[in-house]
């Protein structure tokens, strides 16, 4: 009788471990990165201020991470990717994100994940891939809103840099 119970418990253990392994899908695993490219960001004094990393992932999308090397606590930073270049800027924004720093001196990352298209206008999207970004004339700027003067708040540039075709 003990042999039968041991055998039954062993079979149950094998079945449970098999179900556990089978329940792990590929969607839960991190995407494999096929290609990657980095672009530097500079501050107003032309010193290194961060970087932009673009990674092509295995699900035919790409991720874009903008890193500001140093931040100030409780400051709200706007990370934006705009069409054009730092020499000929436009106001056409492809992506934007606002992040508030939690500590002083620490880096802040804005992460745009699983990008597969861009919004052309209010009703149209266009397929956009890693290769599309490399051919796209764009630049990144990181700004913060100066709220000290409530009557006339002004944007302040923290970091800027060309990406894609504008960086070549």
Please determine, for residue 72, whether its predicted confidence score (pLDDT) is greater than 80: yes
Please determine, for residue 88, whether its predicted confidence score (pLDDT) is greater than 50: yes
Please determine, for residue 39, whether its predicted confidence score (pLDDT) is greater than 80: yes
The predicted pLDDT at position 17 comes to 47
Q: How confident is the model at residue 90 (pLDDT cuts 50, 70, 90)?
A: confident
For the chain, what is the radius of gyration of the CA atoms? Answer: 23
Please determine, for residue 96, whether its predicted confidence score (pLDDT) is greater than 60: yes
Residues 6+ apart with CB under 8 A from 166: 84, 85, 86, 137, 138, 139
Helix (H, G, I), strand (E, B) or coil at 80: strand
pTM, whole model, 2 decimals? 0.76
Measured at the CA of 46, the angle between CA 42 and CA 50, to 5 degrees, comes to 20
The mean pLDDT value for 12-17 works out to: 48
> Two tokens at 71?
């931040």
Please determine, for residue 105, whether its predicted confidence score (pLDDT) is greater than 90: yes
The predicted pLDDT at position 31 comes to 74
**Contact (Cβ atoms closer than 8 angstroms) between residue 141 and residue 94:** no
The predicted pLDDT at position 58 comes to 87
């Amino acid at each position: 009788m003990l042999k039968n119970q041991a055998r039954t418990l062993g079979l149950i253990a094998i079945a449970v471990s098999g179900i556990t392994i089978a329940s792990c899908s590929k969607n839960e695993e991190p995407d494999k990165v096929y290609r990657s490219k980095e672009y530097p960001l500079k501050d107003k004094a032309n010193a290194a201020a961060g970087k932009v990393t673009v990674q092509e992932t295995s699900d035919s999308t790409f991720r874009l991470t903008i890193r500001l090397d140093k931040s100030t606590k409780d400051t709200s930073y706007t990370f934006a990717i705009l069409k054009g270049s730092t020499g000929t800027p436009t106001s056409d924004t492809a992506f934007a994100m606002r992040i508030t720093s939690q500590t002083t001196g620490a880096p802040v990352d804005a992460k745009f994940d699983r990008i597969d298209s861009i919004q052309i206008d209010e009703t149209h999207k266009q397929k956009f891939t890693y290769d599309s970004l490399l051919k796209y004339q764009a630049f990144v700027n990181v700004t913060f809103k100066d709220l000290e003067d409530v009557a006339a708040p002004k944007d302040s540039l923290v970091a800027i840099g060309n990406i894609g075709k504008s960086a070549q």
